[in-house]
Amino acid sequence: MRFFIRLVCTLALVAVAQARPFMVMVYNVENLHDVDGVAQFEDYQPARYSKAHALTKLTNIAKVVAEFEGGRGPDVILFQEIEVDFTPGKSTPDYERILTRYAGVKIEEMLGAKFTPEIGDLPAEALLLKTLADRGLTGYHVATPDVVTAAGTARKLEQKCVVFTRFPVKHVRAHATENARAILEVLVEVDGAPLYLFDNHWKSGAGDAETEKTRVENARTLRTRLTEILRADPNADVILGGDFNSQYNQSRRYARTMKETGLNDILGSQGNELAVRGTTRDLYNLWYELPAGQRGSDTFRGEWGTLMQIMISRGLYDYRGVQYVDNSFGVAKIAGLNADAKGLPLRWSGDGAAGSGFSDHFPIYAKFITVPDGRADRYLPLRNASAEPAAVAATKIDYAKVDLEKTALTLAQIPADASIRSDAYKGKIFRVDGKVAKAKRLGVDFIGETYAVWSYDEALRTKLRAAHKAGDTIRFYGELNQYRERWQFIIHDASWVK
């Protein structure tokens, strides 16, 4: 009997030892480009994007990644918006050899005094890998697509999806899709268990019914492959992540204009967590893990968006292979780092000698663990399992709750004779007290310069314009921004007008 008890205890200890926790992050880095001087986007051509800009962007991405897992970063990162290399070498990059080749030189030197044409030839993901390694975030394998054109075309796309993973990579496949980046499939092995990763970046324009037709085709591409996998093994462990350019509740939010949506109707993303145990629904969208008011990783015209997604298959709830850690989904919004004083994404800006900022998307993440039971017939007990239908209303950014007295800059905080038309002040909130400018559109003369005054609230814009004529005093709190070379203050809420 004692032997049996010891045996059970030993097996239990082995099972615990085999369990491996890990994190998966999904991160749209907003156009990470290399430094070869060849770019399809005007903002990333040499006149506007230098080696110093690239270094700032690389360093800032690394800072965000290093915030997780005790500074070592997630074991899996699904990146979007990494530039396709338009000056590729004759062979596929050997990323381990690149790290070895530049082991004795830091990325700051590579993009500075020790820059060479050879470094200029490195793709953006190699520069990112080196930046992470310099900061102790090591051990990543890099998976990139071998397809960089849209389905049925020969035009080379500007961006690609890239996966960094510490797990052994068993195979990599790229699935060309209509008018969007190829969907990257990476099969990794976690403690001997297969885990499918799908990195996506669908066609943009979430609220546009016309571009939704393309996203429907993007969804068909992914759904076809997913069905193949689940037909062979209904409990396969699959993680779908990326920038789907769709809201988690796309079909309900745009029900009036979209009869069919890619994310919900074709792919099958949904919010009933227990339903995946059945036979008709095989995906659960992790946005439902958060209260409705906390769902958001990007912003557009005063609303939170959920374009970034992580969806998981039923296999991640069973006791075989990899298992989701219940309620571990989160948004990587880090005050003082990639979030501004309003709690919004501190997006990348190429202004200035070296640029600043991070991305227009917060990364999202979830935690997983390996389970040694080998039981596909048992499911994880859930706490507060979601069964709600997708909410229709968008989550508004509550600008009225911004502590303006603490966050707004005043004249006393601005150096004498200084211009605030600089990268250092962009995105900051100012307490504005000035005269209405003489112009067709509402503007204000402030600290010796004229700024447009704007609000995404059309009713508020109309009211302000009607209440103020040229020469009148106008007082408000405004966020300094730049739109098509025009400097402006944005009034986000009626409470910001004094």
* Domain range list for the chain: 19-379, 403-496
User: Can you tell me the distance from the alpha carbon of 72 to that of 329, in angstroms, rounded to the nearest whole number?
Assistant: 19
CATH class of 403-496: mainly beta
Do the Cβ atoms of 239 and 197 come closer than 8 Å? yes
Contacts of 249 (CB under 8 A, 6+ apart): 264, 271, 306, 390, 391, 392
Q: Is 181 helix (H, G, I), strand (E, B) or coil?
A: strand
Q: How far from 158 is each of 15, 40, 86, 95, CA to CA, in Å?
A: 46, 7, 9, 21
Candidates 27, 21, 19; CA nearest to 365 is: 27
Instruction: Please list the pLDDT of the chain residue by residue as tens digits (498 residues).
Output: 444 444 434 444 444 445 789 999 999 999 999 999 999 999 999 999 999 999 999 999 999 999 999 999 999 999 999 999 999 988 889 999 999 999 999 999 999 999 999 999 999 999 999 999 999 999 999 999 999 999 999 999 999 999 999 999 999 999 999 999 999 999 999 999 999 999 999 999 999 999 999 999 999 999 999 999 999 999 999 999 999 999 999 999 999 999 999 999 999 999 999 999 999 999 999 999 999 999 999 999 889 999 999 999 999 999 999 999 999 999 999 999 999 888 999 999 898 899 999 999 999 999 999 998 999 999 999 999 998 776 777 888 889 988 898 889 998 888 887 889 987 788 889 999 999 999 888 999 999 999 999 998 899 999 999 999 999 999 999 999 888 789 999 999 999 998
Cα R_g (the chain), whole angstroms = 25
Residues in the chain: 498
Q: What pTM does this model have?
A: 0.88
> Do the two domains 19-379 and 403-496 of this chain adopt the same fold?
no
The CB-side HSE value for 295 (13 A sphere, CA atoms) comes to 24
For residue 252, what are the contacts with CB-CB under 8 A and spacing of at least 6?
Answer: 264, 389, 390, 391, 392
Fill in the amino acid letter for 310. I
Class of domain 19-379: alpha beta
Q: In terms of Cα–Cα distance, which of 243, 26, 29 is closest to 125?
A: 29
